[in-house]
Structure formats: C-alpha cells, structure tokens
Structure 1
Amino acid sequence: MAYMYKTKSSQYNRAEVIQSFRWKIGPVLPHDIQEKLHFSEKEYFKNHSAAIKSYISEMDIDLTVDMVPPKDPYIQVRVLEDIGEVSLGDHSVSLTKNSLHFLRRTDAEQFISQGLMEEFLE
C-alpha cells in the first residue's frame, strides 16, 4: 500500500511539473526537456496546452502574461538565437541572432521564456 501511495504521489508531482512547463516555457517544449518525458507525459502536456489555449480563446483573455501590469507595454529585446521571420500582429519582423528590437511585451514573452531572446536593459 505504501508503494502505491508513493507511485501516485510521484505521478501527481510529475503532472504538476509538466503543467508548470506550459506556464513557464510556453506551448513548445525545448528538445532537451522533451527527451526526458515519456510519450504519455508529452501527450499530457499537449492536451493541457490545448485546454489552456481553448480557454484563453473562449474567454478572450491571455492568462500567460504577467498578473501585474507592466509600466510600459513595450520592451527592448536582444535575440539570442536565429528565429527567422515572425508575424507580430499587423507586421512581421526578422529576428536574427544579436539583433535588437522594440517589441510589445506580450509578443516577446514567449521567446524570452524559451530562451530565444532576452530583455535588453541599457
């Protein structure tokens, strides 16, 4: 009985960690994390992400942005890895390594959480 309790507790803890990835990293997991997940855990992450996306769309509110409103909705960022051409709202931008951009915080946060860019503080 104690073994079964530990196994369920361990599974619950892993499920919590996988859920937290969605909030901290975003809808796409880095390859090094994906390699460490079992197939069913990858499916769990995919389904959890889909549920969040559906809820955000239905409620028309983005739950993935900061709970405290930023002072300025725009930030300056430096691109750490070549990302390529990205469509951001009404325009597209080429995000090449080491380039600097002034972007809406909500557009940049996904890339920042994935480690592809960083906020550039002068």
Structure 2
Amino acid sequence: MKIFNSIRSKVKIAAAVAMTTAAIGVASMSVYAGQWVQFGDNWYYYQDDGTFATGEQWIDSYMYGFDETGRMRANETYNGYSYGADGKCYEFNDATTGEKTIYGENFYMPANWQPSEEEKAALRELFGRDF
C-alpha cells in the first residue's frame, strides 16, 4: 500500500509540474495574431501573418490608419483621411468619384453637392456633427 501511495504522489506531482509548465508557456505568449496591442501610448494591430498593420486597414468593419512602423493614427489627418481618438477613420472625401466615407459608411454625392437644411439635420442626427 505504501508503494502504491508513493507512486500516486509522484504521478500527482508530475501532473502538477506539467500543467504549471504548460500554463507558464501559454502566459508567456504576449501577442496573438489579429489582436490590438499597446506599447506605451501607442496602439498597433498584430495581423494574422505575424506583422503589424500599416497603411489603411479595415478591422471589425471600421477603417483604421497606421504609419510605416505600425503605429495607429489617432487625432490626425493623413493622406486625405481623418482619424479620431479611437483611430477610426471618420471622414474621407474622394472628389473624383463623389464618394464620402463617414464613420465607415460609404456615401456617393456629387462633388459640388450642397445639402439642404433638412439633409443637414438628418446628417447631424446620424453623426452628431455638422457637415
């Protein structure tokens, strides 16, 4: 009986060591593909291919902008795109096609389109600001 208890204790210890080692291995992985990561005050998006996103990228139905190092653009305008504090592209105008993107939604309007007061009110209600 003593031998059986000794073997059982060794098996329990070995199992505990294996589970602890596995848990430490999983916990040490700091970045997973397709996830947002923060370094200091800057945010980056780690892509499925193991690289950080750069340029303009659609993530979770919103367009974000990233510089050449992968830093998410926030509170800035770059290359015709305007980015909010959350990094989402909230407005883009393409004068050649009349396309206007507002908070990830695409609209097509003539380049010289001037909204009526009613249309301005509807846009204000939808997006919380004047156009």
Do the structures match in fold with TM over 0.5? no
Q: Greater helix share, 1 or 2? A: 1
Structure with bigger gyration radius: 2
TM-score by length of 2: 0.28
Structure ranking higher on relative contact order (CA contacts 8 Å, 6+ apart): 1
